[in-house]
Structure 1
Amino acid sequence: MVIRYKNNWINTKPISDMVNTEYDVVIVGSGPGGGAVLQRLCQLWKDQGAKKIAILEKGDKLFHSHAQNIPTQNVNTSRDDLVPNNSTPLGQRLPQFSGATMVYALGGRSLFWNAATPRPIEEELRTWPINRRELDVYYRMAENLLYVTTDWAKGSSLQDQMLMRLHAAGILEAQDMPLAIDLSPSRQGEVHSNAWYSSINSLARGQLDRPYDLAVDAFVHKINTTPNGKRAAGVEVIDTKTKSNYTIRAKNVVVSASTLETPRILLNSGIQEPAIGRYLTGHVSMIAVGTVSRNQFSDRLGNLSVLKFETEDDPYQIQILGPDQYWSYQQFEDKVLGDQLTIAYAAFGRVESRPENRVYLESRLDEYGVPLQQVQYSLSDRDRQTAEQVEQGIRDSARAMGVTLDESTLVLRPPGADMHEACTCRMGNNPNTSATNRNGQIHGVQGLYVADNSALPSLTAAGPVLSNTALAIRVADHIVRQSR
């Protein structure tokens, strides 16, 4: 007899049991945005038992934590084994966005991200449709939720020496990299076992504040509205195991399904706002490696975690990591270092937001009879100039650090490979050039919100997760105020 155990580290509810409830909020997607909305709603409605919240995830339960919190993984095995085995290379059918990869699982791509959490450049934030002081409050909330720290390499001689070399060469924007890692020790009964942040952390924090309904294998393909189309009324969702379709009623719907999936859902729902799916923005990206002699550093080597921040003159950032796989590794591993240390440079440059770069529906249908999305995407001349600046920035940084680059690795990655795509339902005041208003609500449809990377008004060289989380918390606050 084969005994099979339930993967039940978080309670779920069958979709069929949810159809008789009208929810105050239904959240579509469990990545950083969806998780942040859920956590904040549970926090603010902690003592309001009448409120009903549901979160629907297209994938199944996969890991209970970020992959690098799993004892059998380090940064290399997670990247080389777990990601390929637990992701969908969507770019295989998106020829102009061929690097795109999705993770259909509870927690989404937050199960694998490298946790870099710099704020966007100040000059760009001033163009966003939110008061700068208010935005600062929500960034601080997001940094608190994600346990952002710059102490990952504290005390490392490698870190200290490399920062000194960069600064001496005039690269003054190189600093300790902010990361979403909880470095608090477990003590006095308080357990800190999930150092690397994933949205599983937010699901857990929410669950400990108040109950909510979670369904996995739940593919939301359509938003329902009232007969006049002016207000959200719920969602149509397919159970991917039985292929049965269900209607779930809700007063508010928050779509956080990803930059590529959210416009697909909205367009399939017949929502006619002209900017939905447009302004698709990613990064020009390179990952290069080089080596440096180990004998230049003391035995207190430690790790290397430097971020060269974006500036107005340099519209890119560089994450500088090392040595070898020991940027993040398990305490069980012997730290075996050769005479040459490997240093990695992960660089991301800004891409112009242009309406012709877009996500749209094509005639082909998926296995559930829902139109697939297609992508139109190209780089402008200015984007290609940025790519040249990225390459030169890597060379300058390596030279300053005394690192010998492997020239064969200095190659522009395919569009989408950075996993930073954003802006397809961007926030703004003008319905002709933005999909949502300043509160994240779709123009003209009350109670319908977007809270993922697609809602970002623009994408700087910084990764989108911190901004996504800050705006998602703000969406939750707005929903709570509107629900009083």
Structure 2
Amino acid sequence: MSLNLPSCPLGRPSQTMNHWIPTVTLEEMSRNEYDVIIVGSGAGGGAALWRLCEKMAAEGKRIGMLEAGDPLIPTHARNLPTMTSERFQQFLYSENHTSYTSKYSSNYPDAIEVNALGGRMLFWTQISPRMDVCDLKDWPVSLDEMNYYYGVAETAMNVTKSFFKGSPLTETVIQRLHNAGFSDSTYIPMATDLKGTGNGEIHSNVFFSSLSFLARALNWSFDLAVKAKVVKVYTENGRAQGLRVMDSEKNAYTLKAKNIVLAASTFETPRILLNSGIKGDAIGHYLANHSGVRATTLMPRDQFPETLGTLGVLIPHGENCPYLLAMLDPNTWHAPEQERPFNEDVTINIGGYGKVESRYENRISLDPTRVDEFGVPMLNIDFSYSDNDQLVISEMTDTIRQILKKVAGDDNPSVCIMPIGSDYHETGTCRMGDDPSTSATNRYGQIHGVEGLYVADNSVLPTVGRANPTLTTVAFAIRTADYIVESLKQGSKSNVGVGRGES
């Protein structure tokens, strides 16, 4: 018996994708002129892309992004079901995509660069505090405006203190800290999407990465090229004109753009600028990071409820904001890989981030004797801690010992100093300011003296402060994107403000 029914269409697409995100080739991009090209897909680059697409793509503006690495994974590594704490570390430090600054310098050897779409945001800790008022008071952006853009960034990144709230381990430690006089101790703010699955909507992307910014930007339109190494910025008559970019086969392309946003990293952004001959007394200088002190102790398991949970406590401390402390346990981001006996001791980690002074002599520069595979000079890194930096390290150490004695009853904890660069919080090499002799960009992230050329990564932060820099970098990148939008609307950079406390 024949039913005489037509065949159902299979709905197969007319075009397919080679990656889990749409990409184009450099050859395709070289045929177009872009209103904005963003270099780098980490925190700042991703935030700028999302904001620009949200504000401009519907108006027909052409936006592009260039990433030197591959599309490695489609989400933060901690969202992958195969990850344990051990596998996470093994994957993070794989030489397939991660390299160390030891290739540049022996006195700043332990910072890492992740050569992949999303960069280090694929592996970051999600810890997202704001900078303190004492850190921001000398910055060229008003507190009102910083608060506004912090709010935008926190909403976009799902920053919340609820991640650790209610955990018996966290609640017990916070109460002990309060009793010991550390009354400002609080839950660590985390960039985590805690919205539950319901109504057929899946929320599996708990831990935030810049790939979430790229995903939102796909609601509009942008061109993304991967394995695209930017080697030079072209300028003419004080204005950005385009970029020289090379693919993995070392073919060179010229891309035209009215505006360029460099967000390649604290090391790579000034490297591109210096290799391009961009003038600026501060470019590459004022490298800063966080000094680090760590300690571990054990607490008896029977001091805590049967359900333990994880630990995430932030401890602001000291006048003039010299450092920030955090208490964590090794299983903070992972469900326990095996059941622990109830009588097993609980491991507690405590670490301090010390504010490092911004000094001109801490810098990166081009190495005249070595080049990479693309012909770009390698970097020299000159860095040391000042006497004041050493004093902060000493104070952090004393406070950590005091906390562990009062909270854990440990009179003799094992304390160590973290190798230089291993905080991964480097900043300042293209820092923002009003004075071109001491800053690389103006208060909107535009390179002094070059219209249409912007910086939107950690390198633009005026000082390192004591807080993790990612949230602040995202806030600045969104602010810079708003400035670019207004600039394009008005057709001129003069007297353009973003409308939040600046004129």
Structure 1 and Structure 2 fold alike (TM over 0.5)? yes
DSSP-derived class of the 1:420 partner: coil
What one-letter code is carried by the residue in structure 2 that aligns with 1:388? S
Asked if 1:71 corresponds to 2:81, the answer is yes
Asked if 1:214 corresponds to 2:224, the answer is yes
Counterpart Cα distance in 1 of 2:190 and 2:399? 22
Deviations 1:142-180 (A, max 9, x none): 111111011112222211111111111111221111011
Asked if 1:467 corresponds to 2:472, the answer is yes
**Residue 347 of structure 1: CA displacement?**
1.6
Counterpart Cα distance in 2 of 1:309 and 1:260? 29
Counterpart Cα distance in 1 of 2:321 and 2:55? 41
Partner of residue 246 from structure 1, selected from 238, 242, 253: 253
Counterpart Cα distance in 2 of 1:153 and 1:299? 17
Deviations 1:328-376 (A, max 9, x none): 1148x44435511111113210110001101111111111111111111
Deviations 1:221-269 (A, max 9, x none): 110112x2x0001111110x21111100000000000001100000000
Partner of residue 362 from structure 1, selected from 367, 372, 383: 367
Q: How does 1:305-324 map to 2 (within 5 A)?
A: 305-312=312-319, 315-322=322-329, 324=330
Counterpart Cα distance in 1 of 2:42 and 2:161? 23
2:292–2:417: 8 Å Cα contact kept in structure 1?
yes
DSSP-derived class of the 1:329 partner: coil
Counterpart Cα distance in 1 of 2:26 and 2:124? 29
DSSP-derived class of the 1:309 partner: strand
Partner of residue 438 from structure 2, selected from 433, 437, 444: 433
DSSP-derived class of the 1:96 partner: coil
Counterpart Cα distance in 1 of 2:399 and 2:68? 39
1:15–1:218: 8 Å Cα contact kept in structure 2?
yes
Counterpart Cα distance in 1 of 2:444 and 2:180? 43
2:23–2:224: 8 Å Cα contact kept in structure 1?
yes
Query: Counterpart of 1:392?
Result: 398
Query: Counterpart of 1:232?
Result: 240
Query: Counterpart of 1:336?
Result: 340
Partner of residue 279 from structure 2, selected from 272, 275, 296: 272
What one-letter code is carried by the residue in structure 2 that aligns with 1:284? S
Counterpart Cα distance in 2 of 1:347 and 1:84? 26
Pair 7,406 (structure 1): closer, same or farther in 2 beyond 3 Å: farther
2:104–2:378: 8 Å Cα contact kept in structure 1?
no
What one-letter code is carried by the residue in structure 2 that aligns with 1:120? M
**Residue 310 of structure 1: CA displacement?**
4.3
Asked if 1:170 corresponds to 2:178, the answer is no
Q: Which has the larger radius of gyration?
A: 2
Query: Counterpart of 2:496?
Result: none
2:159–2:192: 8 Å Cα contact kept in structure 1?
yes
**Residue 132 of structure 1: CA displacement?**
1.3
Counterpart Cα distance in 2 of 1:95 and 1:128? 32
Q: Gaps (5+ residues) in structure 1?
A: none
Counterpart Cα distance in 2 of 1:311 and 1:471? 26
**Residue 475 of structure 1: CA displacement?**
0.5
Counterpart Cα distance in 2 of 1:249 and 1:31? 22
What one-letter code is carried by the residue in structure 2 that aligns with 1:70? L
Query: Counterpart of 2:70?
Result: 60
What one-letter code is carried by the residue in structure 1 that aligns with 2:390? R
**Residue 73 of structure 1: CA displacement?**
0.8
**Residue 407 of structure 1: CA displacement?**
4.4
Deviations 1:25-76 (A, max 9, x none): 000000000000000011112421x210000001111111111000011344
What one-letter code is carried by the residue in structure 2 that aligns with 1:365? V
- Report the count of equivalent residues: 471
Pair 177,206 (structure 1): closer, same or farther in 2 beyond 3 Å: same
Q: CA RMSD in A?
A: 1.7
Asked if 1:381 corresponds to 2:387, the answer is yes
Q: Gaps (5+ residues) in structure 2?
A: 1-15, 490-503
Query: Counterpart of 2:299?
Result: 292
